[in-house]
Amino acid sequence: MGMLMNKAMALLSGLAVAGCSVVGVRGGTEEPPYTVDARIGDATTGEVEVRTYGPRLAAETFVDADEEAARNAGFRRLAAYIFGGNTAKQDIAMTAPVAQTSESIAMTAPVAQESVTPGRWRIRFFMPGRYTLATLPRPNDSAVDIVEVPAQQVAVLRFTGDRSAAAVAAKQRLLLDALAAAAWRPDGPASAWFYDPPWTLPWLRRNEVSVPVVARTR
């Protein structure tokens, strides 16, 4: 995620996740629930899952920069919100249940990055399912918004290792190639999703690229 993001994440979440694996594998972190509707391809070429997600809440911000710089800046801005920069002055833990207390809100995985226009990026942290717009603390920073993400069907390709802009772009091309002859077609911009802290050993990381899809009409 870049040097600045690595330092920010290590500083902000290192204390909160004491007791987690030294290799950084996620443990107990809530993820937005989904159903798997179909699988495309195989383990050799890279298996694509077609998933349906229900409505979700997310904290999001927009950053004008190149891809990795935007990821760094967006992460720091959203991290400030979940670590007390909100109207309730509550800490929102990076992982759960290790850092969860009676007053904290556990952030879900993944962290999502999506290109809006050339040079402009949307970064999102998804919020726990038990909260609503009425009960989630409001951000103090006007550049951070809490939004409702509607239910959607997406195609997802999982990968490990490198999370650079070039690596993400290569995986997005593989995802789109896999959909070319499938029963679903892309229906929006592709996103990159990151599940693990930056100190995770590269081959143990869970990263994904996704794109909204709709069924092809014959």
Instruction: For the chain, list residues with pLDDT below 70.
Output: 1-28, 43-45, 89-107, 218
How far is C-alpha 42 from the geometric centre of its chain's CA atoms? Answer: 24
pLDDT at 61: 94
CATH of the domain at 73: 3.20.80.10
For the segment 167-191, what is each residue's pLDDT rounded down to a tens digit?
999 999 999 999 998 999 999 999 9
Kindly state whether residue 21 falls inside one of the protein's structural domains: no
Kindly state whether residue 23 falls inside one of the protein's structural domains: no
Number of domains observed in the structure of the chain:
1
Residue 80 to residue 82: CA distance in whole angstroms: 6
Residue 33 to residue 215: CA distance in whole angstroms: 21
Kindly state whether residue 45 falls inside one of the protein's structural domains: yes
Kindly state whether residue 130 falls inside one of the protein's structural domains: yes
Kindly state whether residue 173 falls inside one of the protein's structural domains: yes
pLDDT at 148: 95
Q: Is residue 111 helix, strand or coil?
A: strand
pLDDT at 100: 23
Residue 204 to residue 208: CA distance in whole angstroms: 13
pLDDT at 113: 94
State the residue range of the domain holding 168.
3-9+30-215
Of residues 191, 169, 179, 176, the one with CA closest to residue 38: 179
pLDDT at 124: 92
Residue 96 to residue 138: CA distance in whole angstroms: 21
pLDDT at 107: 62
What does the mean pLDDT of the chain come to? 80
Of residues 32, 28, 26, the one with CA closest to residue 130: 32
pTM, to two decimals: 0.79
